[in-house]
Amino acid sequence: MAVEVKLAANLQKLVGGQKSVSVEGATVGEVLDDLESKHPGIKETIMADGAIHRFVNIYLNDEDIRFLKQLDTQLSEGDVLSVLPALAGGTA
């Protein structure tokens, strides 16, 4: 099933500058696998050792997948995943 993946600006360069891409998968993990097959190297930016980096947030229709079933979260046709690396910094 087709799922839209929206990417933060710092990840867009890994998918040819696109703000979002359409990929296939029944779970978040399958979608990330398909994303990697279409855009090699992006998965290592999002994951390490089979888990999502702690500084990367993934939302399914505005709900954090950490509070769902993480990579095993089931998806439906037309769902939207947003991948947002955490940002930090600034001055006091």
Worst-scoring range by mean pLDDT, 17-26, 38-47, 70-79, 82-91?
A: 82-91
Q: Give the residue from 33, 25, 9 showing the smallest Cα distance to 83.
A: 9
Angle value at C-alpha 78, between 74 and 80, nearest 5 degrees: 70
Which domains are assigned to the chain? 2-85 (3.10.20.30)
| pLDDT for 32 | 96
Per-residue pLDDT reduced to its tens digit, 10-66: 899 999 999 999 999 999 999 999 999 999 999 999 999 999 999 999 999 999 999
Relative to beta strand 2-7, strand 80-85 is parallel
Q: How many helices (H) and strands (E) does the chain have?
A: 3, 7
